[in-house]
Amino acid sequence: MAKKNILVIEDNHAILDVITLILESEAFNVAGLNKGANFLNHVQEFCPDVVIMDIMLPDFDGRVLLKELKETDSTNHIPVLMISARYNSSNYTLDGISADDFMAKPFNIDELMDKIYALLRKQF
pLDDT tens by residue, 67-112 = 999 999 999 999 999 998 886 666 666 677 889 999 998 889 999 9
Per the DSSP assignment, residues forming a β-bridge with 7 are: 31, 51
Name the fold adopted by 5-123: Rossmann fold (3.40.50)
| 24-70 tens-digit pLDDT | 999 999 999 999 999 999 999 999 999 999 999 999 999 999 999 99
Contact 105, 15 (CB under 8 A): yes
pTM, entire model:
0.91
Q: Given its phi and psi angles, is residue 27 left (phi above 0), alpha (psi -120 to 50 degrees) or beta?
A: left
Q: CA dist 33 to 88, 97, 118, Å? A: 22, 22, 23
ω into 79 cis (within 30 of 0): no
Per the DSSP assignment, residues forming a β-bridge with 29 are: 5
